Every structure is written in structure tokens, then in C-alpha cells.
């Protein structure tokens, strides 16, 4: 029996956080690394290589939070722009009102491996307690 394919967690966490922020009455914003290949955002709003985007349903049209892309149309200074961002370029999502949210790590990795037990030739030290007066 083969192992199931390893799917990235980021798109699922992004959708879940978007839903949680929205259901909580907040305004979901994403932080995007605008310097990565494939990022299509209005460059005039990029600062220090990053852009913050309001991804609430009221600020966007045709919002699609897919497994590979975040895509929508939105107005910037009254002009409609099509925004298309690879999911890997999304650095985090948060609620504008509270700042609560999630930052994504640079690499999609699986669960941490279990701690390595000490080698047989390494003596294990027993914990010691001291009385403090």
C-alpha cells in the first residue's frame, strides 16, 4: 500500500483562517511576498517587497482561494485590478481589527521528527532536585 500524496497545508490553512476571520466579523488581510515569480499585484502598492491585501468578500470580486492560486478583482484608488498570487507567496493572514492570524513558514514541511534517543554509549543523566531554602 503506497502512502497518500503529501499535500501542502498552506491553502487549507489560508481558507480556514479566511473563514474564521470573516465569521468572527473581522476583515481578513493577507501579506504577500511581491517579489516572487507569478505574483500579479498593483506594483504601486508594494512596499519593501511586500503588499498587504484586503481579501474580504466585500472588498473583492470573484475571490478564489484555490490550492495553487489566490485570485480576485479589487479596486485600488478606484481602478479595478486583477490580482493573482501563487499560494506560496502568501506569507500570512490576519484580522485587521485585532491582528490575530497566522504566519506561514518559508517551507512547507511535515511534522517534526521525533527526538533522537541518546546513543547506547552515551550515559543518560538522571534529573536531580535540590532543596532551596
Residue 110 DSSP SS3: coil
pLDDT category, 133, cuts 50, 70, 90? low
Q: Which of 54, 51, 49, 31 is nearest to 41 (CA)?
A: 51
Give residue 112's pLDDT: 41
The CATH class for the domain spanning 10-103 reads mainly beta
Q: Is the pLDDT of residue 36 over 50?
A: yes
**Mean pLDDT of the 47-76 span:** 97
Q: How much of the chain is in helix, strand and coil states, percent to nearest 5? A: 15, 30, 55
- Which pLDDT band holds residue 5 (cuts at 50, 70, 90)? confident
Task: Using alpha carbons, select from 18, 3, 110, 36 the residue that is nearest to residue 72.
Answer: 18
pLDDT over threshold 70, residue 114: no
Q: What is the pTM of this model?
A: 0.76
Amino acid at each position: 500500500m503506497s502512502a497518500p500524496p503529501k499535500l501542502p497545508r498552506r491553502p487549507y490553512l489560508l481558507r480556514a483562517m479566511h473563514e474564521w476571520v470573516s465569521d468572527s466579523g473581522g476583515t481578513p488581510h493577507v501579506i504577500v511576498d511581491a517579489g516572487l515569480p507569478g505574483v500579479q499585484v498593483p506594483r504601486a502598492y508594494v512596499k519593501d517587497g511586500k503588499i498587504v491585501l484586503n481579501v474580504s468578500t466585500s472588498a473583492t470580486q470573484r475571490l478564489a482561494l484555490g490550492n495553487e492560486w489566490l485570485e480576485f478583482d479589487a479596486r485600488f484608488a478606484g481602478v479595478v485590478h486583477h490580482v493573482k498570487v501563487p499560494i506560496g507567496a502568501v506569507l500570512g493572514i490576519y484580522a485587521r481589527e485585532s491582528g490575530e492570524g497566522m504566519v506561514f513558514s518559508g517551507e512547507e514541511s511535515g511534522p517534526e521528527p521525533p527526538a533522537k534517543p541518546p546513543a547506547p554509549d552515551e550515559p543518560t543523566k538522571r534529573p536531580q532536585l535540590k532543596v532551596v531554602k
